Amino acid sequence: MSDKKNYDELIESFLSSSYKIIDIFPQRVSEEYGREYDTAVSYFEEKEMLSSIYKEYGELFLILSCYYDLLYSIDEGPFLKISDGHQFIESIAQLSETSFLRLLINDEIMIDLDAGDTYLTVYGNDGSILELIKKLFASKGFYIW
């Protein structure tokens, strides 16, 4: 079985599991405040703001790579290790509106980012990795729910 096939099966298993959200918002916003949410999100989804949020995400991923085997893929390209921190963060900060980022951490956690969104989707329930993710993201003012 090829590496690509192994990743496809792993990804499929993550996508069929439960997930958590990492976001700038501390919890899901009720429909009652939908208009206010749309107003806030339209501000945060502007290119300059998204780039700033994504840069912070990239810095946290760079830190995570010091503790766990972290592989990333942009736009469903090959999975790569981070070999240059500046280039990695720049590539995330400059994701186009149609880009997609996927990270695999120790093959136990998968994190997805659809460019244009302010949130990350985290799949997998590994206790120690998830605990470090919670600590790191909370330190930058992000929330996991």
- Helix, strand or coil for residue 64? helix
Give the model confidence (pLDDT) of 44-98 as tens digits: 999 999 999 999 999 999 999 999 999 999 999 999 999 999 999 999 999 988 9
Average pLDDT, the chain: 94
Q: What is the pLDDT of residue 97?
A: 86
Residue type, 84: D
Question: 19 with 121: CB under 8 angstroms?
Answer: yes
Return the domain boundaries, the chain. Answer: 3-143
Give, rounded to a whole angstrom, the gap between the first and last alpha carbons of the chain: 36
Stated pTM of the model:
0.91
User: What is the residue whose two structure tokens read 């992000």?
Assistant: 142
Cα dihedral: 27, 128, 4, 9 (round 10): -70
Q: What is the pLDDT of residue 3?
A: 55
Q: What is the pLDDT of residue 80?
A: 96
Residue 138 predicted with pLDDT over 50? yes
Q: What is the pLDDT of residue 2?
A: 43
Residue 35 predicted with pLDDT over 90? yes
User: Rounded to an integer, what distance in angstroms lies between the CA atom of residue 121 and that of residue 114?
Assistant: 9
Residue 1 predicted with pLDDT over 70? no
Q: What is the pLDDT of residue 126?
A: 77
pLDDT band at 6 (very low <50, low <70, confident <90, very high): confident
Q: What is the pLDDT of residue 74?
A: 97
